[in-house]
Amino acid sequence: MESLRRLSFVSIIALLAYFAFLASAELHVREFVIEPRPVKRLCRTHQSITVNGQFPGPTLEVRNGDSLAITVINRARYNISIHWHGLRQMRNPWADGPEYITQCPIRPGQSYTYKFTIEDQEGTLWWHAHSRWLRATVYGALIIYPRLGSPYPFSMPKRDIPILLGEWWDRNPMDVLRQAQFTGAAANVSDAYTINGQPGDLYRCSRAGTMRFPIFPGETVQLRVINAGMNQELFFSVANHQLTVVETDSAYTKPFTTNVIMLGPGQTTNVLITANQRPGRYYMAARAYNSANAPFDNTTTTAILEYVNAPTRRGRGRGQIAPVFPVLPGFNDTATATAFTNRLRYWKRAPVPQQIDENLFFTVGLGLINCVNPNSPRCQGPNGTRFAASMNNMSFVLPRTNSVMQAYYQGIPGIFTTDFPPVPPVQYDYTGNVSRALWQPIKGTKAYQLKYKAHVQIVLQDTSIVTPENHPMHLHGYQFYVVGSGFGNFNPRTDPARFNLFDPPERNTIGTPPGGWVAIRFVADNPGAWFMHCHIDSHLGWGLAMVFLVENGRGQLQSVQAPPLDLPRC
């Protein structure tokens, strides 16, 4: 009888805790109106595509366990979809957002409500357009706080600041894309980098808009740094101040201090910074890390960390003292980028899959399509070719009449095939002098099927075709553990012995070392169609992508939800 009473008491406590959790969860109902608005940068005004008239778009602040219903109303002249970058969207691929992968786009004059719940995630993520190059201006921060009463694994400052790094073109980005698609050449590089939408002091007509962040002496704040840039990895630093890394891609890390961080497009990094220097004004700055033998935007964006008691000049020429500038690595400093990445560790023992069911090996890199008429205006790539990109020599082509997920769910044939190769069709010296016969990939819309709860390992191998390069690879619907990396060709006999299976960093986007490889592991516990692609948008457009089809498990809680009634029509 006494044991029954104890059991009843424990059950009541558990029920009360559950109901308290439900009571603390909120529903956030928002509207995102997609519309052109005048935005002036670099002395010129452009009709830029914005969300609710804002550039960057609004910051979403929610808690773990909250639900969101965000109605996207398209008043622009382009089709659009919105991706909630890094959210797992458990059993709910319909809310993931990539056009023609999990939905058809929202057409001009139409709307769609993205409905989803935050499940066991917290930290810094972001949202952005997932339709061609619209994300150049359509993006914003997504901040997920812990559930009420749940602690941080570090001493959390009272204040944090989103820092969104972006790229700006002094013309319509969609026209930049359209020109590149016509010529087959590389797209024009950006004209400026931005911090929270502003280029900063080093660009023409930009000083008045430079972002300024006041800070009190002795205060510690958290910077939530997001690389929302289209095509460029970036170094970021703050003059004379140490950065303490505490999180990457919404996963806590073992804290460590550094002078500089490197983020690929799509990645986020949270750092703590303490105002422990002489009162003054200090530039925070970002510039390119460019690992490829290719043109890039070699400019620097700045904002100002401003002590509230910073002195001013006296006498003639009175005014604010010029900010101190940070020491940034050289644009090709792969050693610094690699050293930073190699220091990342999960904050505790990580639940890494130890036994592997699917051992996959994917080459990732560029290619060239040969032209029948090399002198054609549509063949302006190297030596009269068109640029391409591929994974395992398969260059991904987006469907145009239906989305992969809808075709998969409804059993509609002819939209995709499930024969994406688990290993390269031809083995070769991936980082050596590759035969030109292997430079042209095969085009197709190919997916790879995974059993529910399969333990998956993927080795992503960069190639030297056209140029070796750091490719920031993003997997939708999943977080994964980065268990190893190295330069040169992956050696399956010796390299796994060096894998970190104890505390590897958890991420949703990871760069391949230029001319090297990176290995990731995850459990396929989220059924649906999930896009994997390079987050350099030029490369995505050239075909550096594939799709995973994760099968349903048993019962409703292991199966994809039914599609919403307002899913955009194809």
Asked whether the beta carbons of 205 and 192 are under 8 A apart, the reply is no
- The single residue listed with the structure tokens 């809310």 is 95
Asked whether the beta carbons of 195 and 224 are under 8 A apart, the reply is no
Q: What are the distances in angstroms from CA 77 to CA 23, 105, 267, 339?
A: 41, 12, 29, 44
pLDDT of residue 24: 73
pLDDT of residue 12: 47
User: Backbone phi, then psi, for 181, in 5-degree steps?
Assistant: -65, -35
For the stretch 312-317, contacts whose Cβ atoms lie closer than 8 Å and that sit 24 or more positions apart, written own/partner, are none
* Residues with pLDDT less than 70, the chain: 1-23, 314-318
Q: How far is CA 92 from the centre of its chain?
A: 19
> Which fold would CATH assign to domain 159-342?
Immunoglobulin-like (2.60.40)
Identical fold at 159-342 and 358-558? yes
User: Closest Cα to residue 477, out of 65, 94, 144, 72?
Assistant: 94
Rounded to the nearest 5 percent, the helix, strand and coil shares of the chain are: 15, 40, 50
**In CATH, which of 1.20.120.140, 2.60.40.420, 1.10.287.1080, 3.40.50.1820 is domain 27-145?**
2.60.40.420
pLDDT of residue 312: 84
Q: Strand 480-487 and strand 506-507: pairing?
A: antiparallel
Residue type, 94: W
Asked whether the beta carbons of 114 and 74 are under 8 A apart, the reply is no
pLDDT of residue 17: 44
* Structure tokens belonging to residue 14: 């558990």
* Structure tokens belonging to residue 360: 């996959």
User: Closest Cα to residue 365, out of 462, 473, 264, 232?
Assistant: 462
Architecture of the domain spanning 358-558? Sandwich (2.60)
Which are the contacts of 34, defined by CB distance < 8 A and separation ≥ 6?
49, 50, 51, 72, 73, 74, 75, 76, 80, 106, 138
Asked whether the beta carbons of 67 and 28 are under 8 A apart, the reply is yes
Q: Where are the domains of the chain?
A: 27-145, 159-342, 358-558
* Structure tokens belonging to residue 526: 């989220």
Sheet holding 44-51, edge to edge: 44-51, 27-41, 67-74, 111-117
